[in-house]
């Protein structure tokens, strides 16, 4: 009788432990997503929604300027999925064979807006930037929002006039902070960035005729060790559910 009970306990113990292979199968897969800083808020909500549907997949984000993220990927950083605010930076990776051929697509759009601190009374248009002492934009070489802003300002014929007043920032979130704290008189950010602050005022949207189309492409990194899981998140971000949420955060649907 005691022998039977001992054997029963032993069998139950071994079944509970399982084999190493079985244990490995239930471990979560963690995928790293490098994404433009302007997508931070919406992606955190989308991550939560996705992980509820796929509890064995963990999403880890690396947010920053698209130029810096692109450079990290080109240097071999362990990234599974890239969401860029710049077609140019994305296409550089694609042309170098770093983006998976089957899993790459334009995802969503955005707008550039001119913002000022809440107490501003002097700047009412882009032309009024001539009156500003300090104006912040992202570093054009690495921050797509800065590149779009520079292109628009130049096409409006104002670049040479205000160039010496510019305070260059590492990403659009830093521009937003500079404007919120009054460290600059005005700044150019994405429309989506303005939704997270009640300390700024939006002066105007920049007419899209003055700059290149603002498009966010998405792609699975070819060297990813978790292509299956990265593709699931990629497909979810392209779904109607996700696109609708992007729109709620101020992004624009690509027709």
What angle in degrees, to the nearest 10, is found between the helix axes of 227-237 and 240-248?
Answer: 60
Q: Are strands 200-205 and 186-190 parallel, antiparallel or unpaired?
A: unpaired
What tokens were used for 128? 């009024």
- Taking CA atoms, 143 is separated from 12, 47, 138, 156, 191, in Å, by 58, 24, 5, 20, 15
Residue 109: Cβ within 10 Å count: 17
Strands annotated E in 118-182: 135-138, 166-169
Q: Is 38 annotated as a binding residue?
A: yes
Whether residue 145 is annotated as binding a ligand: the answer is yes
Quote the DSSP letter at residue 28. P
Residue among 176, 191, 180, 197 at smallest CA distance from 246: 191
Give the closest residue to 113 by CA, choosing from 245, 254, 249, 208.
208
Q: Do the annotations mark residue 66 as ligand-binding?
A: yes
Longest dimension (CA), the chain: 95
Summarize the annotated binding site as residue ranges. Answer: 38, 66, 145, 172, 190
Per the annotation, binding residues for molybdate are 38, 66, 145, 172, 190
């Amino acid at each position: 009788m005691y022998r039977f009970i001992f054997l029963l306990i032993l069998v139950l113990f071994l079944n509970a432990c399982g084999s190493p292979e079985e244990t490995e199968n239930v471990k979560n897969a963690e995928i790293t997503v490098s994404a433009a800083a302007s997508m931070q808020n919406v992606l955190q909500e989308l991550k939560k929604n996705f992980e509820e549907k796929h509890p064995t997949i963990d999403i880890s984000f690396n947010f920053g300027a698209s130029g810096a993220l692109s450079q990290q990927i080109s240097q071999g950083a362990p990234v599974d999925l890239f969401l860029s605010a710049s077609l140019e930076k994305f296409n550089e990776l694609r042309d170098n064979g770093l983006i998976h051929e089957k899993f790459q697509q334009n995802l969503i759009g955005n707008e550039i807006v001119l913002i000022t601190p809440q107490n501003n009374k002097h700047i009412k248009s882009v032309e009024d930037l001539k009156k500003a002492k300090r104006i912040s934009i992202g570093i054009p070489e690495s921050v797509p929002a800065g590149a779009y802003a520079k292109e628009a300002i130049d096409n409006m014929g104002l670049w040479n006039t205000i160039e010496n007043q510019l305070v260059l920032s590492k990403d659009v979130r830093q521009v937003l902070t500079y404007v919120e704290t009054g460290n600059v008189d005005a700044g150019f950010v994405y429309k989506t960035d303005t939704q997270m602050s009640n300390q700024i005022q939006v002066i105007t949207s920049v007419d899209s005729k003055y700059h290149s189309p603002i498009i966010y492409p998405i792609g699975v990194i070819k060297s990813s060790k978790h292509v299956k899981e990265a593709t699931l998140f990629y497909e979810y971000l392209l779904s109607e559910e996700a696109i609708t949420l992007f729109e709620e955060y101020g992004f624009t649907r690509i027709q």
